[in-house]
């Protein structure tokens, strides 16, 4: 017999849609309404083979926990990374990091920190999804089409007509600056969308020309080369931004060219600041998936810093480049890794074999990789919890729609801490 549950929150991307309908048939969950493909496959993950393993061999949970504690105790510089879990998982991971002197980063640490660096340099003016949906009469996407990072973004936030502007019922204009493919996919969702094509590395230049045009300065693009012919479109866009009542400039930090991400974000924030001199405008950062915003928030309130902290010296020490997961592994500074990936069994970045403890949904592949593998509940499917949405304000309740015998990540992490 199958039962249907309404208004289920989806944990599988930073949009955290909470309107899904999920049918339960025994132990199988199936999204029957309003889920995107990512949600459908996320909820369809099986909970089979719920056994913990040490060096590939099945053990009891207790044995796995004790072994994990030994690995961490022996380590001089543990690294707790991945951090794809809910708020309770993050709280427990930070408590364990503090106890073991570990460094902490998220699997999307680069995206989170690209934003944080800009905030810490210059601050920003931002908005949230309900504001965007109801108030924004112009949305400019930078280097993203929205849906490739948050699949229902255009459906939920751009397709409805804005209703609360100074001129309600005025239709919304949508524009994108970025690779040609982005413009094409955006137009499939919003037929009236316009696009200005450029290579990802040229976004900073496009933004500065746009800002200059907006402020009436003439710094034209070179007539030759890759941007030839972009000037009229940029001028038109500047004019539309100028006359918009509430423009939103959106980016997805994880989709920007890695070494330029903070520069593009800074440019976007400057553009928004320029607009706010005479009209209203705000930024929005898309993405925020795999619990990135949840980890950022919990880490900030518990330590004062947005991830990439290291407890090796006792008090949390924040260093966004030095404490990056990849950097710690590359420099061979970390000598044990605790990898938390509770939404999907994603593998850790493995530069070199160091003892690795993995907390993830059941997965033979990961079990074979790890010194200690502990299968855990998927928050929002197997376990209740809280995750924060990409706009960094709204916390959504996750439900346990499926019964499970698997422990939650927080429970396992607290048990490990108890053995140290």
Nearer to ligand SF4, 176 or 381 (CB): 381
> What DSSP string runs through 57-118?
EEE-HHHHHHHHHHHHHH-SSEEEEEEES-HHHHHHHHHHHHHHT-EE--TTHHHHHHHHHH
Quick check: 77 binds another protein (CB under 8 A)? Answer: no
User: Half-sphere exposure of residue 405, counting CA atoms within 13 Å on the CB side?
Assistant: 7
Quick check: 247 binds ligand SF4 (CB under 6 A)? Answer: no
Nearer to ligand SF4, 100 or 150 (CB): 150
Quick check: 151 binds ligand SF4 (CB under 6 A)? Answer: yes
**Which own/partner contact pairs does 399-403 have at CB distance under 8 Å and 24+ positions apart?**
399/5, 399/8, 399/9, 401/5, 401/8, 401/22, 401/24, 401/29, 401/43, 402/24, 402/27, 402/29, 402/47, 403/27
Quick check: 154 binds another protein (CB under 8 A)? Answer: no
Quick check: 21 binds another protein (CB under 8 A)? Answer: no
CB of 387 to ligand SF4, least distance (A): 10
CA-CA-CA-CA torsion for 14, 20, 23, 27, nearest 10 degrees? 20
CB of 21 to ligand SF4, least distance (A): 11
The sheet carrying 194-197 orders its strands as 194-197, 173-178, 138-142, 246-251, 280-285
Nearer to ligand SF4, 39 or 354 (CB): 39
N-terminal to C-terminal alpha carbon distance within the chain? 45
User: Half-sphere exposure of residue 214, counting CA atoms within 13 Å on the CB side?
Assistant: 23
Please choose which of another protein, ligand SF4, none residue 164 contacts, taking the beta carbon within 5 to 8 angstroms, the exact cut-off set by kind: another protein
Give the footprint of ligand SF4 on residues 157-176 (CB under 6 A). none
Q: How far apart are CA 383 and CA 201, in angstroms?
A: 41
Give the footprint of ligand SF4 on residues 22-41 (CB under 6 A). 35-36, 38-39
CB of 163 to another protein, least distance (A): 7
Nearer to another protein, 12 or 124 (CB): 124
Quick check: 285 binds ligand SF4 (CB under 6 A)? Answer: no
Quick check: 397 binds another protein (CB under 8 A)? Answer: yes
Please choose which of another protein, ligand SF4, none residue 38 contacts, taking the beta carbon within 5 to 8 angstroms, the exact cut-off set by kind: ligand SF4
Q: How far apart are CA 69 and CA 357, in angstroms?
A: 10
Among 85, 114, 386, 414, binds another protein (CB under 8 A): 386
Which residues sit opposite 344 in a β-bridge? none
Nearer to another protein, 7 or 25 (CB): 7
Please choose which of ligand SF4, another protein, none residue 151 contacts, taking the beta carbon within 5 to 8 angstroms, the exact cut-off set by kind: ligand SF4
Quick check: 30 binds another protein (CB under 8 A)? Answer: no
Among 53, 67, 135, 152, binds ligand SF4 (CB under 6 A): 152
Helix/strand/coil for 173: strand
Q: Which DSSP symbol is given to 379? A: B
Quick check: 95 binds another protein (CB under 8 A)? Answer: yes
Quick check: 135 binds another protein (CB under 8 A)? Answer: yes
- At residue 136, φ and ψ (nearest 5 deg) are -75, 120
Among 16, 135, 230, 280, binds ligand SF4 (CB under 6 A): 16
């Amino acid at each position: 017999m199958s039962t249907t549950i309404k208004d289920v929150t989806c944990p599988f991307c930073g949009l955290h849609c909470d309107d899904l309908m999920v049918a339960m048939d025994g132990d199988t969950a199936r999204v029957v309404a309003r889920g995107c493909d990512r949600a459908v496959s996320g909820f369809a993950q099986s909970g089979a083979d719920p056994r913990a393993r040490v060096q590939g061999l099945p053990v009891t949970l207790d044995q796995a926990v004790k072994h994990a504690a030994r690995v961490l105790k022996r380590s001089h510089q543990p690294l707790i990374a991945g951090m794809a879990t809910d708020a309770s998982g993050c709280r427990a991971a930070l408590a364990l990091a503090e106890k073991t002197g570990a460094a902490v980063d998220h699997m999307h640490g680069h995206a989170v920190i690209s934003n944080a660096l800009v905030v810490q340099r210059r601050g920003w003016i931002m908005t949230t999804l309900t504001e965007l949906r109801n108030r924004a009469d112009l949305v400019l996407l930078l280097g993203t089409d929205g849906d490739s990072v948050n699949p229902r973004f255009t459906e939920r936030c751009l397709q409805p007509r804005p209703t609360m502007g100074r001129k309600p019922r005025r239709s919304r204009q949508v524009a994108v600056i970025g690779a040609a493919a982005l413009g094409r996919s955006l137009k499939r969702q919003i037929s009236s969308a316009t696009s200005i094509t450029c290579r990802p590395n040229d976004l900073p230049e496009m933004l500065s020309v746009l800002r200059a045009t907006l402020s009436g300065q003439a710094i034209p693009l070179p007539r030759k080369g890759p941007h030839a012919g972009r000037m009229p479109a940029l001028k038109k866009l500047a004019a539309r931004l100028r006359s918009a009542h509430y423009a939103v400039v959106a980016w997805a930090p994880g989709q920007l060219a890695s070494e330029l991400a903070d520069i593009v974000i800074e440019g976007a924030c400057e553009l928004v600041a320029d607009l706010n001199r005479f009209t209203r405008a705000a930024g929005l950062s898309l993405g925020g998936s795999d619990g990135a915003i949840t980890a950022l928030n919990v880490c900030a309130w518990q330590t004062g810093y947005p991830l990439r902290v290291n407890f090796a010296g006792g008090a949390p020490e924040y260093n966004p480049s030095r404490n990056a997961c990849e950097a710690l592994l590359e420099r061979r500074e970390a000598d044990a890794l605790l990898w938390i990936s509770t939404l999907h069994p994603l593998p850790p970045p493995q530069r070199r074999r160091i003892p690795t403890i993995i907390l993830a949904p059941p997965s033979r592949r990961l079990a074979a990789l790890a010194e200690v593998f502990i299968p855990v509940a998927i928050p929002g499917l197997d376990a209740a919890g809280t995750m924060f949405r990409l706009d960094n304000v709204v916390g959504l309740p996750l439900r346990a729609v499926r019964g499970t015998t698997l422990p939650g990540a927080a429970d396992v992490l607290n048990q490990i801490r108890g053995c140290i």
